[in-house]
Chain A
Amino acid sequence: MRTLFIAVGTAVTLFLGGCAHAPQAKADLSAFQAAAPRSILVVTPVNHSLDVDAPNYLLSTLAIPLAEKGFYVFPVNTTKVVLEQEGYYEGEQIQKQSPVDLAKLFGADAVLYVTINRWDAQYAVLAASVTVNFDYRIVFKDGTELWKTQQQMVYTPQATNAGNPLANLIAAAVTAALTRAAPDYLPLARQANGLALVTGPAAIPDGPYKPAK
C-alpha cells in the first residue's frame, strides 16, 4: 500500500516537474543584449531547396521585420549588388567569408545569415500544401554568434465548404490547380520571418529605434 502511495507521489512529482520544464523554451538573449548591435547587414540566403529563385525571394522579405524591430537594416538589394560587384553571387560563397570582414566591409554591427532548408510544394490528388523552413543566425562584427533559431511554416489552402460533396471536390481541385500553377511563397516567408524574429518565443530583442513602451 505504502509503495503504491510512493509510486503515485513520484508520478505526480514527475508530472509536475514535466509541466514546469515545458515552457522553458525562452531563448538566451544575454549575448545579444550585451553586444547591443544598432545595424544589421542581411546577405543573400544559402539555398538547400530545389528552387533556384528562393534566395532572392526570401531576401526581399527580410529587411522589414528587422527594421520594424528597431534596427538599421542595410538596403538588401544594394548590399546584393555591391557583393556581386565583388564577385559574390551565391549565399554559400558569402557565408564562407569571415563575418568580421563582411561586417567591416559595410560598417555593420552584425550580420544576419539565413539558410533555406525547405521551399517547396507537395501535391496530393485534391489538395496541395506549401512548406518553407529556414535557419536564421545573427553574428556580431567580432565574429561572436549572438542568436539563432529555426522556423517552419506550412500552408494548406482550405477549400470553401459548399455543403455539397461534388461542389466541395471541385473546389478542392480548383484550389490544388491554382497552387500548382503559382505557389505564392511570399506570405509564408513573411510569416516565418515574423515568428522567428519578432513575435516567436526566440524573437530577438528590440533595436535602438524601437520606442520604449
Chain B
Amino acid sequence: MRNILLVIQREYLVRVKKKSFLIMTILGPLLFVAFYAAVIWIAVGSVDLKTVQVVDESNLFKNEFKDTESLKFSYLSSPIDSAKRQFEKSGANALVYIPGDVIKQPKNVKIYAAKNVSMELKSGIEDVIEKQIEEIKLSEAGITHKILEDSRVNVKSETISLSEEGEKTSSSGAATVIGGICAFLIYMSVFIYGTQVMRGITEEKTNRIVEVIISSVKPYQLMMGKIIGVALVGLTQFVLWIFLTVSLTSVATTVLSDKMPKSQQAMVDDVEKQMPGGMAKSGMPGGNVQNPVSEVLGAVNSLNIPLILGCFLFYYLGGYLLYSALFGAVGAAVDNDADTQQFMLPITLPIIFSFVFAQFVLRDPDGSLAFWTSIIPFTSPIIMMVRIPFGVPVWELVLSMVLLVLGFMGTIWLAARIYRVGILMYGKKVSYKELAKWIFYK
C-alpha cells in the first residue's frame, strides 16, 4: 500500500512540476478569457458614432428614433430623391426611407448606405418602426398605452421534460451545449492523460529503470500508481482551469464593462447574474443577441447543476480509468513510442465512435441508440454525459455507472496481466496473439 502511494506521489509531482503543466494551466483560461473578451469587444464595436438620416414620408416617426451612444438620428424634410443625392456629401452613415404607406406596406422601408449596414443598426431601426406601428395600430383599435403596460407580464416557466414545444426548445439548447462540452472534455482528457500514462510506461522500459523499480514494488503497484498519479494531475489541471477561468472572466467583465454602451451593459449584467460559477466556462458571449442569451442561461440554471457536475466527475474518472489501463497495456507491450501506433487505433476507435454518436444522441436523447451507447462502458462516459442534461431515468444511470465500474476493473485487470510480462520483454514484435498468451502466463 505504501508503495502505491510512493509511486503516485512521484508520478504526480514529476508531472505537476513540469513547465509544460504550468503553461497549459495558465494558457487555457487565458485563451478562453481572451476569446470571451474579444467577442464582447467586437460586439460592442469601436464606439464610433454613426449618423443616420431619416426621410419619413408618413410623418409618424418624428422623434421616435432615439439617439443612443453610438447612433445619432437626424430628420430630413427633403424628399427622398434629393436626400439620396445629397447622401454622400452629407457624411452620414445611413439613410432611412419610410414610405408614406408604411402601415399598410411595412416591407417597403429602405435603408441606404455606402457600405453594408450593420445588423445592429438594421435591427435597431426595424425594432423602432415595428413598435411604433404596433402602437399606432393598437391605439387605432382603441387600446391605450396604459392598457398595454398592464398587459405585460413577465413569464418565467420551469422547464420540465414533459413541457410544451416552446419550453423544451430553449432548455434543449442549453442541454445540448452542456452535453457537448462535457463530452468534448472527457474525450480530450482520455486522450491527453491516457497517452501520458502510456508514454510514461514506455519510457520506463526504454531507459531500463523498470527492472530496478520492479525489484522493489509489484508490477501492479507500479501500474496503478502511475494511472492514479496521472488522474490526479488531470484533476488538478481541471480544477485550476475552472478556478482561473472564473476569476479571470469576472475580472475581464468588470474591466470591459465601462467600455460598453448602457444597453449592452445591462444585458451583460443580466448574463452575469444568471451565470453560476461553474457555467462561466460555457462562455456565452455578450453578442448582439439580447434576450435569447439570458433566456438560455436561465434555462441552464434550471438544469440540475449538482447532478451534472457529480456525474461529470464520475464519468471523467471512470472513462479515464477504463482507457488509461488499455493505454498502459500498450505502453508495456512495445519497446518504444513509435510502435504504439499500431495499437492506438483499436483502442481509440470506441472513443471516436462515441464522439460521432454523440451528435445523433443529441437529437434523440431517449432513443435506443442513446440507450445502448450510454450503457456500454466503452462509450458511456461520453454518451451518458450528453444525455444527462436532458434527464435520464435513475435506473439507467445506475446501470451505466455500475457497468462502467466493472468495465474499468476489467480493463485494469487485463492491463495488469499484460503489463507484468511486457515490461521485461524486449525485442519481440508483439501481435494480438502474443498479448493473449501473456494474459495467461503465470
A and B associate in one complex: no
A binding-site residues for B, Cβ under 8 Å? none
